[in-house]
Amino acid sequence: MITILHSIICGVNIVQNPTDHYQIPALMNQILVNLQIKPQISADTIYSSLANLKYLEELGITALIPTKQQNRENSGNLPDNHLL
């Protein structure tokens, strides 16, 4: 995940774990120290979890993170079974 302010990378976190969806707290801590402000962030669908959204809400950070359903709708990959 990259958070930008005027097209500047404000935080980077590299991990060995093949899934990095648990990295929002570590990244946000780094970003908050680097920027000294609460930024608005955008992230990929993989970061759309209740834990991440709750963490960001507690910090008062506005996050634009699409849900899996929104991602499917935008890509045109809706399943035949609309209950999924």
The pTM of this model reads 0.71
Q: What is the mean pLDDT of residues 4-18?
A: 75
Please list the residues that pair with 42 across neighbouring strands: 64
Mean pLDDT of the chain: 81
Q: Name which of 32-36, 41-45, 59-63, 78-82 the model is least confident about.
A: 78-82
Residue 55 vs residue 79, higher pLDDT: 55
Rounded CA separation 29/1 (Å)? 13
Give residue 70's pLDDT.
79
Element (H, E) at 28: helix 24-35
